[in-house]
């Protein structure tokens, strides 16, 4: 490893610290409001908390007779299942697009992209009717199905793009060794595409984790609610309970940050370099 000059290190850190400062400055107000005993939106120029209390967090867990745990679980189930289904379906589809030349391929790929251009405003009601007919209204399954398909196009395109960068020599060698297509897909392609899998997983998870409008349209029973609907509870007709909302916002973002923290080693520790060299 060559040494890196000191000014370069300093500049890089300065740039990163600057970026973090810009990112964190507005977030300080969220923290301030979450820790404040008041329900008002903080307009003070000072983002440092002046009073610290955990009562907003306590309220989150004790209101509605402690139903929040159940709703957290709902959110985890919905986001987890969305991620699982999304990534599995996307990786098989992306593999087909990347490694086969079949009639309808161009059309199919364009089709995935085109679906992203549909403005959601016209789709909510037809989806509602469809789920109603399938008996999936007010159920987590209906929500999972809708979320996983809406995150699919990005996942398919992202994975297809990444699969394309994986050299074919590896598969050809594997075919020589008598490996089946399935084996190649699961044992070679998927592990090599780990960084892209992580990005798509994170994306699918986020699609489901923060979505509010569809969830609130399809779900009516509070035992079925996901966390974003619960957060919206604090947004009222005339006023918003900002202390509770901020505490909830922090609560919602912690699992995402934790997940990202866990996953980022796969995002960084790419395997292709070694594999291709060999």
Partner 1 sequence: MGLFMDQVNDRLQRRWNLSGTFWLTSLLWIVTLICGQSATGSVAFAQDAESEQRVVWHAYRGAEEKALKKLVESWNEEHPSQPFKLLFIPYEVYASKVDNDIPRGNGPDVFISAHERIGQWAASSLIEPWPVDSLQGYHPKTLDAVKYQQKSWGVPLAYKSLVLFYHRKFVKQPPESVEEMLEVAQRVTDAPAGRYGLVYEAANFYMHAPWLTAFGGEVFDKEGKFALNSPEVAASYAFAEDLVLTRKIVPEDASGSLVTHLFNSGDAAFAINGPWFLGELDKDLDFGMVPLPPLAKTGLPASPFLTVDAAFVSARSTHKEDARQFALYISNHDSSLIRAREGLQPVATLSVYDDPEIQKMGQLMTFRKQLDHTLPMPNRPEMNAVWEPANQALRQVLRGSVEPAMALKQAEQRYGFYTKPAPEEQPMTPLLIGVALLLLALAATTVMKFRDGSLWAEMKANKPAYLYLAPAAVGMILLIVAPFVVGSMVSLFAHHNGEFTYVGLTHFLNILLSREYGLTDPLSFYFTLAVTVAWTAVNVFFHVSIGLGLALLLREPWVRLRGFYRVLLIIPWAIPNYITALIWKGMFHKQFGAINGLLVALGLEPVSWFSQFSTAFAANVATNTWLGFPFMMVVILGALQAIPRDLEQAAEVDGASWWQRMRHVVFPLLKPSLVPAVILGTVWTFNMFNIIYLVSGGEPDGATEILISESYKWAFTRQQQYGYAAAYAVLIFFVLLAYSAVTGQLKLDD
Contacts (CB under 8 A) with partner 1, residues 179-238: 180-183, 185, 195-196, 198-199, 202-203, 206, 210, 212-213, 216-217, 220-222, 228-229, 231-238
From residue 261, alpha-carbon distances to 16, 69, 160 in Å are 17, 23, 25
Among 49, 53, 80, 139, binds partner 1 (CB under 8 A): 139
Nearer to partner 1, 16 or 54 (CB): 16
Binding mask 60-89 for partner 1 (x = CB under 8 A): ----x----------------x---x--xx
| Nearest distance from C-beta of residue 17 to partner 1, angstroms | 8
Binding to partner 1 by residue 119, rule CB under 8 A?
yes
Number of residues that bind partner 1 (CB under 8 A): 147
b/e burial code for range 16-51 (CB count within 10 A of at least 16 → b): eeeeeeeeeeeeebbbbbbbbeebeebeeeebebee
Neighbours of 181 (CB within 10 A): 13
Among 7, 48, 69, 117, binds partner 1 (CB under 8 A): 117
Nearer to partner 1, 52 or 239 (CB): 239
Among 70, 76, 249, 278, binds partner 1 (CB under 8 A): 249
Neighbours of 69 (CB within 10 A): 9
Neighbours of 240 (CB within 10 A): 15
Nearer to partner 1, 54 or 223 (CB): 223
Among 52, 58, 105, 168, binds partner 1 (CB under 8 A): 105
Among 62, 125, 172, 187, binds partner 1 (CB under 8 A): 125
Among 71, 204, 207, 241, binds partner 1 (CB under 8 A): 241
Binding to partner 1 by residue 132, rule CB under 8 A?
yes
Binding to partner 1 by residue 92, rule CB under 8 A?
yes
Q: Which of residues 8-37 bind partner 1 (CB under 8 A)?
A: 9, 12-13, 15-16, 19-20, 22-27, 29-30
Among 140, 189, 208, 226, binds partner 1 (CB under 8 A): 140
Among 164, 168, 187, 191, binds partner 1 (CB under 8 A): 164
Nearer to partner 1, 15 or 54 (CB): 15
Q: Which residues pair with 240 in a beta bridge?
A: 235
Binding to partner 1 by residue 41, rule CB under 8 A?
yes
Q: Within the chain, what is the greatest distance between any pair of CA atoms?
A: 69
Please tell me the distance from the alpha carbon of residue 161 to that of residue 164, in angstroms, as a whole number: 5
Neighbours of 210 (CB within 10 A): 17
| Nearest distance from C-beta of residue 186 to partner 1, angstroms | 9
């Amino acid at each position: 490893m060559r040494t890196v000059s000191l000014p370069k290190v300093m500049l890089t850190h300065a740039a990163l610290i600057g970026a973090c400062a810009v990112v964190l400055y507005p977030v300080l107000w969220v923290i301030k409001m979450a820790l404040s005993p008041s329900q008002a939106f903080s307009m003070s120029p000072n983002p440092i908390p002046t009073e610290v209390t955990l009562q907003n967090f306590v309220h989150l867990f004790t209101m509605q007779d402690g139903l929040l745990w159940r709703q957290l679980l709902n959110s985890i189930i919905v986001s987890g299942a969305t991620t699982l289904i999304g990534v599995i379906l996307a990786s098989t589809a992306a593999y087909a697009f990347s490694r086969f030349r079949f009639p309808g391929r161009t059309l199919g790929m364009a089709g995935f992209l085109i679906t992203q251009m549909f403005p959601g405003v016209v789709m909510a009601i037809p989806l509602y009717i469809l789920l109603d007919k399938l008996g999936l209204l007010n159920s987590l399954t209906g929500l999972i199905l809708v979320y996983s398909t809406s995150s699919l196009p990005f996942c398919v395109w992202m994975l297809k793009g990444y699969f394309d960068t994986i050299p074919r020599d590896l598969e050809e060698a594997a075919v020589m060794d008598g490996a089946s297509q399935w084996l190649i897909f699961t044992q070679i392609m998927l592990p090599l595409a780990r960084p892209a899998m992580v990005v798509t997983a994170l994306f699918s998870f986020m699609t489901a984790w923060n979505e509010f409008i569809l969830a609130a349209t399809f779900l009516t029973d509070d035992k079925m609610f996901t966390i974003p609907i619960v957060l919206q509870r604090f947004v009222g007709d005339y006023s918003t309970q900002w202390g509770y909302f901020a505490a909830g916002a922090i609560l919602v973002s912690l699992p995402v940050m934790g997940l990202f923290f866990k996953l980022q080693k796969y995002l960084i520790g790419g395997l292709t370099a070694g594999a291709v060299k060999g």
